[in-house]
Amino acid sequence: MKKILIKTYVCNEIEISELDLQIYDTLKFQQHKDKLEYIKINPNGKNSYEGESTPIEFSLLEKELDKLKRLGATHVEIVYHEDHFGYILNGVKFEIVDENNKRFKTILAYRNKLSRSDLIEERQILKNKLKAINVELRQSKQKTK
């Protein structure tokens, strides 16, 4: 069986937050005087889950989705951000990668072998190497001046 690797590339991340305040504005409530509490009534009788979503205007969502499309996203991940009454939109693009691609073989090997703490440690090592390279570049630029 051939293994198919799908590379997920996040084109951009957009956070839409404080939607509760936008509802106050839309309905002309004063947020410091009035307590906004809305009850969802579903005509189909299905339950509505409080705290897992906040209504968002179509025009706002369409505008943000269009931004992601312009940046090359073909799909979107929508994550509810409960603390800020909003959503995080990750514009995503998929690419099928050949199983013989050396870079992705290495990534898969690491992913399958290393624990989360190992990955965090590896990430810190790479960050330190990057800092050292940046310092060297700055020093080399200063010497050439």
pLDDT along the chain (145 residues), means of 10: 64 82 74 64 64 81 92 88 84 76 69 69 86 87 76
| CA nearest neighbour of 37 among 53, 49, 23 | 23
pLDDT of residue 81: 83
Residues 125 and 61 in one domain: no
108 shares its domain with 128: no
Q: Is the CB of residue 59 less than 8 Å from the CB of residue 52?
A: no
The total domain count for the chain is 2
User: How high is the pLDDT of residue 2?
Assistant: 62
pLDDT of residue 62: 95
Distance between CA atoms of residues 82 and 140, nearest Å: 47
Pure H helices in 14-87: 19-26, 58-70
- What is the reported pLDDT for 67? 92
Both 64 and 120 in one domain: the answer is: no
As a whole number of angstroms, the distance between CA 113 and CA 106 comes to: 10
Beta bridge partner(s), residue 95: 7
